[in-house]
Amino acid sequence: MTSESRQQTPSSKDPSSIYNASSFLRSQREGSSAGNRRYNVNTLVPRSLYDKFVVQLLAMELLINSNAKLMETNAKLVETNARLTVCLAAAALAVLFAFSRRS
Residue 30's pLDDT is what? Answer: 52
Tell me which residue of 34, 10, 31 sits closest to 21, measured CA to CA.
Answer: 10
The one-digit pLDDT tens for each residue of the chain (103 residues) are: 454 444 444 455 554 544 455 555 556 555 544 454 455 555 666 778 888 888 899 999 999 999 999 999 999 999 999 999 999 999 999 999 999 988 6
N residues, the chain: 103
Distance CA 16, CA 34 (A): 25
Per-residue confidence (pLDDT) for residue 91, from 0 to 100: 96
How many Å apart are CA 98 and CA 95, to the nearest integer?
5
Tell if the pTM clears 0.75, that is, is over it. no
Distance separating alpha carbons of residues 58 and 66, to the nearest angstrom? 12
Contact 32, 40 (CB under 8 A): yes
Residue 95: per-residue pLDDT: 95
Q: Are 19 and 10 in contact (CB under 8 A)?
A: yes
With 0-12 / 13-18 / 19 or more C-beta atoms within 10 angstroms meaning exposed / middle / buried, residue 28 is middle
Please state the separation of Cα 100 from the chain's center in Å. 59
